[in-house]
Amino acid sequence: MISYCDHLSAESIDSLKELFNSEIQSLVSPCSDHRIGAPYILVPHVSIRLGPKKFIVIDNEWDDTPGEAIDFYLLRASITDRPKGLQVTEYKDCWSYKADHMSLSIGVKDGIQRLAVLEYSCVGDTEKVRYDAAVHIELQSGKQILLEREESILGFINIATDPEVIATDIKGLRERFAFPD
């Protein structure tokens, strides 16, 4: 059995620690797909403002195994000085968005109570895969956000905020680590 494993890098984990220690107010992306009746917002990547000129960007890429073509996804997080893919005007301590984009508002700034990274695994006839598939964020207000891989070659991210949808989606995943530890 050939095994393929992709977990978040040390840089990605450090970026998620910064997210955990921040208050957040919205998630932004250059575009999104909302389908009638669907429980998700589909985005190519998501940026979350952590402070003046400081964002965490969460990306996802698709790949597959060479033998059985089992899909797996490469989740990444990084700290940047601007939101990814958005046109912005720079001011002294902040950015102003110049063009249309997707913004998912949480409401007033909210602290993160818990952040968990969830792993998916799949076993084929001759190959098996394990990878970090989702980030589950529980806010101090009780709201939840799930950033989960979109199961397609697009490598996009599904955003879910409905607690019932989140509970269903995370049933097939294993918590690999969480903040606080």
CB 73, CB 4: distance < 8 Å: no
Angstrom distance (rounded) from CA 151 to CA 122? 13
pLDDT tops 90 at residue 47: yes
Q: pTM of this prediction?
A: 0.93
pLDDT tops 70 at residue 79: yes
Tokens found for residue 146:
């799930």
What pLDDT does 131 receive?
Answer: 97
CB 47, CB 56: distance < 8 Å: yes
Mean pLDDT of 9-21: 97
Domain that holds residue 105: 2-179
CB 149, CB 159: distance < 8 Å: no
Number of domains in the chain: 1
What pLDDT does 113 receive?
Answer: 97
Q: Using 50, 70 and 90 to split pLDDT, how confident is the model at 88? A: confident
Over residues 137-153, the pLDDT tens digits come to 999 999 999 999 999 99
Over residues 23-33, the pLDDT tens digits come to 999 999 999 99
pLDDT tops 70 at residue 98: no
Over residues 52-65, the pLDDT tens digits come to 889 999 999 999 99
3-class SS shares of the chain: helix, strand, coil, % to 5: 10, 55, 35
* 1 Cβ contact partners less than 8 Å away, ≥ 6 residues apart: 123, 126, 127, 128
What pLDDT does 19 receive?
Answer: 97
Angstrom distance (rounded) from CA 166 to CA 114? 15
Question: In whole angstroms, what separates CA 111 from the centre of its chain?
Answer: 17
